[in-house]
Structure 1
């Protein structure tokens, strides 16, 4: 889709990706769009968020639901903040992060972009 993806289509894409085994990272998500380094996903975790650390910078835009977002360099250093509909959350590449204690209606757009390691790497290159 060049210009817009209605939420109903994004939700359907997640269901199709999960049922076909094509969901990215094995998560309840679907890639909706790609242009250059930018990838747009729709993400609907249920119960627990098991996403891995990513090699690109990310921006989340919360569509619905409430909860807590945790981000840090290690489990011991996680910082937590409340989130809700309309909130935008940035995560630098390579940082541990997850959504916690979220409501059953939680869903978010996810934009991953930039070079591997992020635009401003948070860890030395391997």
Structure 2
């Protein structure tokens, strides 16, 4: 068992901040933080992702649609799918689950 203390909390460390909390062969978990008014500059990933919004408000834009998101929302983004958080009106904190584990770019 492992307890992830502080996971999902907003971290004001630069324009965008990703902190990995756990890594196994099959998945990884981290927190992605984007400040209000910030720009999400991520590229598509090789892994499936689940985002859990823990704080803030924004819009998630993908080729298949646009969703307003806020605390408690859970979002699935398939591997290689273009996606971006826009219109970040409140500091945004997201728990991010990658499967398999995030390989980076």
Structure 1 length normalisation: TM-score?
A: 0.68
Q: Deviations over 1:2-45 (max 9, x none)?
A: 1232248x656x74xx6xxxxxxxx5111111122211110111
In 2, Cα distance between equivalents of 1:105 and 1:115: 26
In terms of fraction of residues, the more helix-rich structure is 1
In terms of fraction of residues, the more strand-rich structure is 2
What is the number of equivalent residue pairs in this alignment?
Answer: 100
Structure 1's unaligned 5+ residue stretches are 19-26, 73-77, 117-126
Partner of 2:66: 80
Structure with the greater alpha carbon radius of gyration:
1
Matched, 1:45 2:50: no
Structure 2's unaligned 5+ residue stretches are none
Of structures 1 and 2, the one scoring higher in RCO (CA 8 A, sep 6+) is 2
Structure 2 length normalisation: TM-score?
A: 0.80
Moved beyond 6 Å, runs of 4+: none
